[in-house]
Amino acid sequence: MKNFNRREKTRPRIGVFGVGYAKYWPQFEGLYQQMLDKQAVFIEKVKTYDIELFEFGMVDDVMGAYALVPKLQAGNLDLIFCDMLTYATSSTFGAIIRALDIPMVLVALQPDKALDYGRASTHQQLYNDDICSLPEFTGVAVRMGKKAPDVIIGTLHDDPAAEEEIKKYCDIARVLHDLKTARIGHIGHPIEAMLDMHSDATMLTAHFGLHIVQCEAHEIVNKYNEVSSAAVDYEKDKILGFFDTPDPVSDPISEKLRDTDLEVAARVSVALHTFVREKNLTGLAYYYEGEENSLTRQVMTNLIVGNSLLTGAGFPMCGESDLKCCIAMLIMERLGIGGSFAEFHPVDFQENFVLVGHDGPHNISIAEGQPVLRSLKKYHGKPGFGAGVEFKIKEGPITMLSITSTYEGKIKFVIAEGMSVEGPIPPTGNTNTRGYFKPDVRTFLKKWVKEGPTHHFALGIGHHAQTLKKIGEYLAIEAVIVE
């Protein structure tokens, strides 16, 4: 992202073990080494996705399975690939799947696209028997009280679909890893009247593994007071190099960016970056009004620019103190699809779309074109005034994720896919994207609200509903795709 350094990626811990059948090795000369060679090719594929890989060799009898269990348990793994190298009896798998609660994917990638039928042999068949044990393994998993593992089926070479699936599971592992190690800062409280925003921090730890770091507004205010003039000037130059600052259009509460608002936004941005770094935060959810005409109010109501920069750099920041939406934004960011703070705005019944956006902060890494800064005389519905961020997200496929909670206190994912379509947005200093959803905007909105989402959601690029649902499944969280 221009002018701004992204966070260094964390590396999920992924294990790989292969399975085979010991009785084959003395019967078919060279087959054992061929299995190891196949597994080596698969391992090299996985390594390309910036992960920390743990290799556990090949299991070919029941004793090897029992011996492998404690090694897998000790690995603190986020996901395991079981490489189905040839037919293997389920005794090489039953003890493993029974003992582990780690997401596991069965990978069946045969080396040849088809047998050479005119010269086929039993050896050639066994060399390509990657799918043979899949029903046996999934059936035994169910008998062990587990869900049937996910499966990748394809060829070991020149198979883009299989490569994409491998990448998808590596990305899922990255999400799972970062959720259970995340430190989400929390300042203030949700807006009191927004009952859907309120969260139980302990239950968020229970469901996701992350820790909520309770922070104080004065910690940022103190950093604000310590920022040097040189640091402010440097930050102003970066901001002006990234954002456009056009003249106002139709909204009477918006103005061309004032120098005083840029000064405050830059100083707050420097303070906020320092605060996040020193507190070792993964993200932040905040809402704090402060006393009227106080420095605290000025600082805490002017986080939008700095938070948008941080969100675009990989540190999700969420307004109105919405911890659940902050987590949704984190999930999308770690999938590499953005994740911007959003809610529904007015419907266009003439062109059959709904505006989706918010008044900040936003993920500027997925902006369509150059983001805009405007000075706002007031932040509607909230105290304060200052710079507002305006843009729409990239045109094309989009995905929404709302994390809500149920009457029973459980977490629920509400997911949908749509399209970001071309066209103008209101020049109000807020984000807005023209969201088109099938079959039509009325029907979609009725279905969406029936699932009990929060009014906030994370908005990302691309279609990733099934991946988000899979993450929910691995976290034992109900996930519904609204279609």
Provide the terminal-to-terminal Cα distance of the chain, rounded to the nearest Å. Answer: 33
pLDDT (tens digit per residue) in 423-466: 999 999 999 999 999 999 999 999 999 999 999 999 999 999 99
Contacts of residue 263, defined as CB under 8 A and 6 or more positions apart, other chains included, come to 232, 236
pLDDT (tens digit per residue) in 188-231: 998 889 999 999 999 999 999 999 999 999 999 999 999 999 99
Rg (CA), the chain: 26
- pTM for the complete prediction? 0.95
Residue 111: CB atoms within 10 A of its CB come to 16
CA quadruple 410, 341, 460, 240: dihedral, nearest 10 = -160
Map residue 86 onto helix, strand or coil: coil
* For residues 102-129, average pLDDT: 97
* For residues 121-143, average pLDDT: 98
- Specify the amino acid at residue 319: G
**Cβ-contact 176, 474 below 8 angstroms:** yes
Q: Which tokens is 128 given?
A: 């390509």
Strand partners, 375: 255, 387
Distance of CA 387 to the CA centre of its chain: 28
Residue 2 has a pLDDT of 44
pLDDT at 3 over 70: no
Residue 336 has a pLDDT of 95
pLDDT (tens digit per residue) in 13-53: 999 999 999 999 999 999 999 999 999 999 999 999 999 99
Give the span between the Cα atoms of 205 and 437, in whole angstroms: 33
